[in-house]
Amino acid sequence: MRIILTGGGTGGHIYPALALARYIKKIDPAVEMLFVGASGGMEEKIIPPSGFSLSTLQVKGLPRRVNFSLFKAFYLLGKSSAQAKKIIEEFKPDYVIGTGGYAAAPIILAALACRVKVILHEQNVIPGITNRFLAPFVYRVCLSFAASQKYFLKQSNLCLTGNPRASEVGHISKSTARKILNMDPKLAFVLAVGGSQGAAKLNQCMLDFLFKASGEAGFQMLYITGERYYEKVISSLKDGNLLEIYGLRLKVLPYQREMALGLAAADLIVTRAGATTLAEITALGIPAIIIPSPNVVHNHQLINARELFSREAAVLIEENQLSGEVLKNNILSLLNDPRRLDLMKRKSKEIGFPEAAHNIYKLMTS
């Protein structure tokens, strides 16, 4: 079998495709795969080091206003369509799998024109514009959330599979993860993370929380600041003597490459509502305090978070209501209520799809 995977622009489009590719290679090493993305995109930094071949197209996202950039984007779209058709004709895929983003459009359109079966994957509750436009014409549309169904005109090709990233967690035990992280095997463990770049308001409130909770000895924390804010956070913690007060109970990092370790160790997570993160925490059933980013298209993180909140799997705090005191009240309240944590864990697992990658692979082999 030969498969092209396409998607890009953000990690949210790239990492699900990469997780699926890894799973397929593990199950069937004979499968030949090619990634197709945008020239100059994040995919150029992520895909080749992961051991997969990447072809790129000269394509840009369409701006939301009529200006010179719009005309340039349309020109590049036409140019990339010819490039995409050539890739399809030379690689001769059995399937093209698109995970969203403007980088996916040219290769999917070329695949449809050449009568190649196309599978789309949507990570968020509210589908992206590329997936919504292409959905009626493809073989299957794979959803991460059941609530996405109402946004598609055609229903017969929809499949609820989950997000392939969910299949990459769960292989590490809690005890092993805590040992590797050098954290107490018995003390309640909180993971706080605001994304690879971090988030200013979330970091500000996390610092305030750590000051306010410095007299509490009943928890330990792995705090991922994001690279942009790490030095400022460490400086504030040192100025307040908090690194000495917390000691081994507080580990602060700019970035956690092996996020599966932190997730496996956690009894509670404080996080944004990116689709990949929610896929991972529901696969493991981690109770969550979710603070959606307000700076995303269609406010889709809030919509994602409401899915978990409505199912009693998470506490939802909008950023304009966030403070150190609010974090303290919610974190300590949950840690002191094991029955509620158990309920949240069960409800979270009900939403999760730990077999998501297999679910999508099955569509190509059954």
CATH of the domain at 10: 3.40.50.2000
| Together in a domain, 139 and 185 | no
Final residue in a domain of this structure, among 160, 183, 200: 160
Closest to 185 (Cα-Cα) out of 264, 246, 271: 264
4 bridge partner residues: 34, 96
Highest mean pLDDT: which of 23-37, 38-52, 193-207?
A: 23-37
| Together in a domain, 269 and 321 | yes
| Model confidence band, residue 68 (pLDDT cutoffs 50, 70, 90) | very low
| Model confidence band, residue 19 (pLDDT cutoffs 50, 70, 90) | very high
The residue range of the domain holding 109 is: 2-160
DSSP tag of 165: G
Final residue in a domain of this structure, among 116, 137, 160: 160
Residue 357 lies in a domain: no
| Together in a domain, 6 and 153 | yes
- Long-range (24+ apart) CB contacts under 8 A made by 177-183 are 177/260, 177/261, 177/262, 177/264, 177/265, 178/265, 180/261, 181/222, 181/251, 181/261, 181/262, 181/265, 182/248, 182/251, 183/220, 183/222, 183/248, 183/251, 183/265
| Together in a domain, 207 and 332 | yes
Report the amino acid identity of residue 243.
L
C-beta of residue 237 within 8 angstroms of C-beta of residue 209? no
| Together in a domain, 156 and 265 | no
Average predicted confidence (pLDDT) for the chain: 91
Q: Which comes out higher in pLDDT, residue 78 or 261?
A: 261
| Together in a domain, 28 and 89 | yes
Tokens representing residue 357 in the block: 């990658």
pLDDT above 70 (res 78):
no
Final residue in a domain of this structure, among 127, 160, 193: 160
The pLDDT of residue 296: 82
